[in-house]
Amino acid sequence: MKGYHSVQALYGEDRLTKAKIRKNGEMVEVPIAEALDLVASKLKETRDKHGKDSVAIYGSGQWTIPDGYVASKLFKGCLGTNNVEANARLCMASAVTGFMTSFGIDEPMGCYEDIDNADVFITWGNNMAEMHPVLFSRMTANRKRRTGVRIIDFATRSTRTSQAADKSILFKPQTDLAVANAICHEIIGNGWVNSNFVNEHVSFHKGKTNIGYGIEDNFAFTDKDEAISFEDYKLFLADYTPEKVEKISGVSAKDIKYMASLYGDPAVKVTSFWCMGMNQHTRGTWINNLVYNIHLLVGKISTPGNSPFSLTGQPSACGTVREVGTLTHALPHGVVMNEQDRKHAAEIWDVPVENIDPKPTYHTVEMFRALDRGDIKFMWIQVTNPMVTMPNLKRYRNGALKDDRFVVVSDVYPTPTTDVADVILPAAMWIEQEGLFGNSERRTQHFGQILTPPGEAMSDTWQIIEVARRLGFEKQFPWGQDNYIEKIWEEYRRFHSGPKHEMAPYKVLRERSGVQWPFVNGKETRWRFNPKHDPACSNGKDFHFYGKKDNRAWIWARPYEPAAEFPDNQYPFWLNTGRVIEHWHTGSMTRRIPVLHNAMPASYVELNPEDAIELGVVNGEKVKIISRRGEITMPAQINGRGVPPRGMVFVPFFDESYLINELTLDAFCPISKQPDYKKCAVRLEKA
């Protein structure tokens, strides 16, 4: 739907084509060179006056790979600050920490071909019918063509995916943790453990508990892992009998046993899919770990159709944010804390190794808190719209608007984020520039330039290069406009050389419609950790989980802990937020596509029909939603495409006229620092 019409997103009447700067409170058009001069001088002035960590860049999973790479090189390599973050922190961070803690290396072991091989699909809090429609259709087409294919939707609200599924199982928010443990309890209790696999390839661990929610400023948390035995793990699971978990989760013991039996049946290939439901979760890392636990106990992993599959929400969340490492702790290869990784980066970047600070600074929520506090005074925002997407939005908007904060925004249309900007830089859209991106299945793809950007718009990569040169880093940013993408790619590729992460050369990427890494001796890798497919396996066994030092995948004992905020007498409803099929995130592009705006012109609040009767509202009538942080009045939708259970409301966040994030809570997973947009408490009034 969106892809077919996306080209119309280029033609909105209010496209930004000229740079603007704030003069006496008014935004006035200036030549882009003047705006870039101002960005560079303001950055330098702020850095000189307030120190290197007073400037920051905030990007996106829609940054191209070159965009993210030059941002990291300029800020981490040249300016020496780890104030580099991206909106993927709000979207994929728990998936990353899930992979790192369970496997020691990021990104899925499987690929989309798993869909053509699996017998059972279990979607964990994941409305694929709307959010991953193409993959979803591949799944339903497989169900139609092959016998015995089943789809189980395990979710907190009934969606199109639930309707398509053979079975829809609803659970109470946050209790996926308990259900996942109960499934493991059943697998062990029924003797369905794949002992050969577990003995050869798995080790058991536990971490800290009662780990907090990060609601307070400067919250810090470091997990500590402790090896445990299989017996210890079994003892830990004793609390999670299906009968006990039924009471917490609202999922019947029968349904828990049914799910366990699907994972446990050695004749059935199971693929689990998840996305924001598990990642935007104050225990996001844990629930990622727990689903891996299930697959690891039964050995259903890294083979066609047996796949715990973490889906990505943005085109290049994997390619740019996870692989280039545009997060405060990361480098294009490895992390800033590691001396070897710093040396490696400094060498490729041609900067003194001392430039790279070994201490991570702020993750996204804390970065915006630092902007509010004044610890950060200069922020450059590219390709994203945080003034719609930040949780607890009012605080961060007020912060950005404070007098001595300087905010630069590169974008293609005016948004609530350009509203807080001191400089607006007009950006090129995707086919107005050359670039590369990387998707969920480790596939890197090249795209060529088809159109000329309008007016003075230029690619985000080139904007950064222009500013870097103005700051005196010509040596690190020497490329010409005719081939800078190729040069950047070939430089970046050096970071990943080696069989675990080798990337395809520019020439190959231009020829093919995407290449899956590791790309070794001209061959792509479809299933990692499996020696039949993965050239990095070297232990001579049937699998090799080489990410961890013990060459094993880790099963974690992670308990159920409640959400940061949950319904009570004063605020008796859960507020859940998310997307709709018609719009990308904040709709800054898709709302300018006539057919999509026409189909989905405004946001709404989904109510359970019985709650609606109790409240006395019918379809389309206004409902006031009130949380501890803000309130909003919007039309009700009853029996729409999604139906929440009693005691929950759902609001799509794409509509800047209804800023639902003014109500959400900025609590996050202490390990991944990813906020939970799916759970806070509200009360309702008929408006």
Partner 1 sequence: MMKRKEQWNRWVVTAAALCCLGIIHFSLDRAVFAGVGNDDFDHQSGKLYRAYDAVPEPYLAADSGDRNLAGFYELRQYPGSPPRIPHAADITFSGNARDCLACHAKGGYSAEFAKYIPVTPHPENSLCYQCHVQKVTDERFVQSTWQSITPPRLGLSFLASSPPSIPHSLQLRENCIACHTGPAAVVEIRVSHASRGNCRQCHVPTVQQEAFSEFRRK
| Encoded amino acid at 208, one letter | K
Q: Is 140 in the site for partner 1 (CB under 8 A)?
A: yes
Residue of 91, 131, 275, 680 marked catalytic: 91
Q: Which is nearer to partner 1, 522 or 616 (CB)?
A: 616
Q: Which is nearer to partner 1, 27 or 353 (CB)?
A: 27
3-state SS record for 524-572 = CCCCCCCCCCCCCCCCCCCCCCCCCCCCCEEEEECCCCCCCCCCCCCCC
CA-to-CA distance for 325 and 332, rounded, in angstroms?
5
Min separation Cβ 582 and partner 1, Å: 7
Q: Which is nearer to partner 1, 78 or 381 (CB)?
A: 381
Q: Which is nearer to partner 1, 223 or 621 (CB)?
A: 621
Q: Which is nearer to partner 1, 235 or 613 (CB)?
A: 613
Secondary structure of residue 227 in the 3-state scheme = strand
**378-397 residues near partner 1, rule: CB under 8 A:** none
The tokens for 528 are: 């990692």
Q: Give the residue carrying structure tokens 């060179």.
A: 33
Residue of 62, 174, 280, 314 marked catalytic: 314
> Which residues are CB-contacts of 219 (< 8 A; sequence separation ≥ 6)?
212, 366, 670
Using the contact rule CB under 8 A, the part of the chain among 22-30, 60-68, 159-167, 196-204 near partner 1 is 159-167
Q: Is 589 a catalytic residue?
A: no
Q: Which is nearer to partner 1, 8 or 551 (CB)?
A: 8
Kindly state the number of chain residues that form the binding site for partner 1, as judged by CB under 8 A: 49
For residues 273 and 311, the answer to whether their CB atoms sit within 8 Å is yes
Min separation Cβ 586 and partner 1, Å: 12
Q: Which is nearer to partner 1, 312 or 418 (CB)?
A: 418
Min separation Cβ 603 and partner 1, Å: 11
Residue of 42, 73, 92, 100 marked catalytic: 92
Q: Which of 80, 104, 133, 454 binds partner 1 (CB under 8 A)?
A: 133
Q: Which is nearer to partner 1, 33 or 599 (CB)?
A: 599
For residues 194 and 292, the answer to whether their CB atoms sit within 8 Å is no
Min separation Cβ 605 and partner 1, Å: 11
CA-to-CA distance for 335 and 345, rounded, in angstroms?
10
Min separation Cβ 426 and partner 1, Å: 16
> Which residues are CB-contacts of 653 (< 8 A; sequence separation ≥ 6)?
388, 389, 577, 578, 579, 585, 586, 603, 660, 661, 677
Q: Which helix (H) or strand (E) holds 189?
A: helix 176-189
Sign of the torsion formed by the C-alpha atoms of 325, 329, 335 and 340:
positive
Min separation Cβ 637 and partner 1, Å: 6
Q: Is 2 a catalytic residue?
A: yes
Per DSSP bridges, beta strands 631-638 and 443-447 are: unpaired
Q: Which of 160, 269, 533, 629 binds partner 1 (CB under 8 A)?
A: 160
Q: Which of 134, 235, 401, 450 binds partner 1 (CB under 8 A)?
A: 134
Secondary structure of residue 107 in the 3-state scheme = coil
Residue of 109, 128, 276, 278 marked catalytic: 276
CA-to-CA distance for 276 and 176, rounded, in angstroms?
13
Q: Which of 129, 251, 423, 428 binds partner 1 (CB under 8 A)?
A: 129
Q: Which helix (H) or strand (E) holds 573?
A: strand 573-578
> Which residues are CB-contacts of 638 (< 8 A; sequence separation ≥ 6)?
606, 607, 609, 612, 617, 618, 619
Q: Is 313 a catalytic residue?
A: yes
- Cross-strand partners of 217: none
Min separation Cβ 134 and partner 1, Å: 7
Min separation Cβ 687 and partner 1, Å: 14
Q: Is 7 in the site for partner 1 (CB under 8 A)?
A: yes
Q: Which of 49, 144, 254, 549 binds partner 1 (CB under 8 A)?
A: 144
- The 571-600 site mask, x for binding partner 1 (CB under 8 A), equals ----------xx--------xx-xxxxxxx
Using the contact rule CB under 8 A, the part of the chain among 47-55, 160-168, 287-295, 325-333 near partner 1 is 160-168
Q: Which helix (H) or strand (E) holds 630?
A: none
**597-656 residues near partner 1, rule: CB under 8 A:** 597-602, 604, 618-621, 635, 637, 639-643, 656
Q: Which is nearer to partner 1, 503 or 589 (CB)?
A: 589
Q: Which is nearer to partner 1, 152 or 488 (CB)?
A: 152
Sign of the torsion formed by the C-alpha atoms of 336, 337, 341 and 344:
positive
Q: Is 414 in the site for partner 1 (CB under 8 A)?
A: yes
Q: What is each CA distance from 551 to 29, 312, 538, 669, in whole angstroms?
A: 58, 26, 10, 27
Min separation Cβ 129 and partner 1, Å: 7
Using the contact rule CB under 8 A, the part of the chain among 134-142, 250-258, 352-360, 432-440 near partner 1 is 134-142
Min separation Cβ 585 and partner 1, Å: 15
Q: What is each CA distance from 526 to 110, 529, 553, in whole angstroms?
A: 6, 10, 19
Using the contact rule CB under 8 A, the part of the chain among 7-15, 261-269, 317-325, 331-339 near partner 1 is 7-15
Q: What is each CA distance from 472 to 42, 45, 577, in whole angstroms?
A: 14, 14, 44
Query: Could you write out the DSSP letters of every residue in 268-295?
Result: --EEEEESHHHHSSTTHHHHHHHHHHHH
For residues 65 and 325, the answer to whether their CB atoms sit within 8 Å is no
> Which residues are CB-contacts of 381 (< 8 A; sequence separation ≥ 6)?
57, 58, 59, 407, 408, 409, 410, 417, 421
Q: What is each CA distance from 549 to 101, 282, 545, 546, in whole angstroms?
A: 12, 28, 9, 7
Min separation Cβ 171 and partner 1, Å: 20
Q: Is 314 a catalytic residue?
A: yes
User: Catalytic residue numbers?
Assistant: 2, 91-92, 276, 313-314
Q: Which residues bind partner 1 (CB under 8 A)?
A: 1, 4-5, 7-8, 13-14, 129, 133-134, 136-137, 140-141, 143-145, 158, 160, 163-164, 414, 581-582, 591-592, 594-602, 604, 618-621, 635, 637, 639-643, 656-657
